[in-house]
């Protein structure tokens, strides 16, 4: 399956401003029928590098005025829904690969210590492995109401648990936190998710957030907002939470003037 992806993001910038961008797809994860082409206008020298999560990053210093960031690509995906493996097991913590251990710990938006007691009371006597992660996903899906009006960049998993409302990143943060409380590595993912195989959403397209849990030696995708296997996810960045995966980070005053995302099946 071929999916067209892209964006048009514009900032108004009053003075020279360093920026860090995570606006490519996850390095080495996909094949392309049309390669990505990040266009920075006006032309601005940039450095490209991989961070310690393997995310493809761009560093630049934006000049005063309007900065335009555009990209368009055609990416190949397998056309299948997210993999489900009901027999996938939870690894004992002492047997986990070393590179999964950071995804067990508390992070900026995932306060493991504040939700551990509830997590074990709610999920500790139920199924383990894939079933336990799905139980977490089911709970968060029903516990939290979705709405763009609930967006708040400072909201943590504990806040979402208590307020019971949020956007996709908040659903992911809460589910990730519960998984970590239960000894299951969970990582945050952000990227493109189009309306493929589901009713068309009339709202403007946006980037999306979900999470992956480490079971039976593999990372499995879960989505607490939609709570249904989806077709055509395209990952842009992985991290412990949204603090590691901000698609644009500015080190100075900026104003977002335009934000358009495209994700569609060809």
Distance CA 209, CA 216 (A): 23
Is 229 in the same domain as 251?
no
Closest CA to 24 of 204, 236, 266, 180: 236
Task: Estimate the crossing angle of helix 112-123 against helix 168-181, to 10 degrees.
Answer: 70
Give the CATH number, domain containing residue 6.
2.60.40.2250
183: left (phi over 0), alpha (psi -120 to 50) or beta: left
Same domain flag for 100 and 45: no
Would 190 be classed as within a structural domain?
Answer: yes
Give dist(CA 137, CA 175) in Å, integer. 6
3-state secondary structure 229-266: CCECCEEEEEECCHHHCCCEEECCCCEEEEEEEEEEEC
pLDDT beneath 50, residues of the chain: none
> Does 196 fall in a domain?
yes
Token pair, residue 178, equals: 């519960």
Same domain, 69 and 148: no
Question: Would 97 be classed as within a structural domain?
Answer: yes
Report pLDDT for 259: 95
pLDDT of amino acid 201: 85
Asked if 70 and 151 sit in the same domain, the reply is no
DSSP 135-155: HHHHHHHHHSEE-GGG--TT-
pLDDT at 193: 96
- Structural domain of residue 105, as residue ranges? 93-244
Residues 64 and 98 in one domain: no
Residue whose pair of structure tokens reads 């842009």 in the numeric block: 236
CB atoms within 10 A of CB 92: 8
pLDDT confidence of residue 132: 98
pLDDT the model gives residue 202: 85
Answer yes or no: do 73 and 129 share one domain: no
pTM of the shown model: 0.96
Q: Kindly state whether residues 261 and 220 are assigned to the same domain.
A: no
* 136 within a domain of the structure (yes/no): yes
User: How do beta strands 218-222 and 208-215 pair?
Assistant: antiparallel
Alpha carbons 209 and 110: distance in angstroms, whole number: 15
Residue 84 domain-assigned (yes or no) = no
Same domain, 186 and 71: no
Number of domains within the chain: 2
pLDDT at 32: 97
The candidate with the shortest Cα–Cα distance to 142, out of 228, 227, 230, is 227
SS3 18: strand
Same domain, 191 and 133: yes
| Whether residue 171 is found in the same domain as residue 240 | yes
Q: How many CA atoms lie within 13 A of 55 on its CB side?
A: 25
158 and 103 co-located in one domain: yes
Q: Report the first-to-last Cα separation within the chain, whole angstroms.
A: 8
CATH number of the domain within which 158 lies = 3.10.620.30
Q: Is residue 85 part of a domain?
A: no
Q: Do both 182 and 215 map to the same domain?
A: yes
């Amino acid at each position: 399956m071929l999916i067209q992806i892209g964006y048009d993001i514009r900032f108004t910038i009053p003075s020279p401003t360093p920026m860090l961008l995570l606006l490519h797809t996850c390095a080495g994860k996909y094949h392309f029928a049309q390669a990505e082409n990040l266009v920075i206008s006006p032309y601005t020298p940039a450095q490209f590098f991989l961070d310690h999560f393997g995310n493809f990053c761009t560093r630049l210093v934006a000049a005063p005025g309007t900065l335009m960031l555009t990209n368009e690509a055609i990416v190949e995906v397998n056309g299948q829904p997210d993999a489900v493996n009901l027999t996938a097991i939870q690894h004992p913590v002492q047997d986990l690969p070393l590179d999964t251990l950071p995804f067990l710990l508390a992070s900026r938006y995932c306060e493991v210590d504040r939700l551990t007691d509830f997590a074990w009371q709610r999920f500790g006597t139920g199924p383990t492995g894939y079933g336990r992660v799905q139980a977490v996903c089911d709970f968060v899906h029903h516990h939290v109401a979705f709405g763009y009006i609930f967006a708040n960049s400072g909201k943590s998993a504990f806040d979402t648990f208590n307020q019971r409302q949020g956007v996709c990143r908040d659903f992911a943060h809460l589910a990730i936190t519960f998984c970590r409380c239960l000894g299951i590595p969970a990582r945050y993912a952000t990227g493109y998710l189009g309306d493929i195989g589901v009713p068309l959403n009339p709202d403007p397209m946006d980037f999306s957030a979900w999470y992956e849990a480490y079971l039976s030696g593999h990372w499995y995708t879960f989505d607490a907002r939609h709570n249904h296997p989806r077709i055509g996810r395209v990952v842009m960045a992985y991290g412990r939470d949204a603090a590691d995966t901000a698609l644009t980070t500015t080190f100075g005053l900026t104003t977002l003037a335009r934000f358009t995302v495209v994700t569609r099946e060809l």
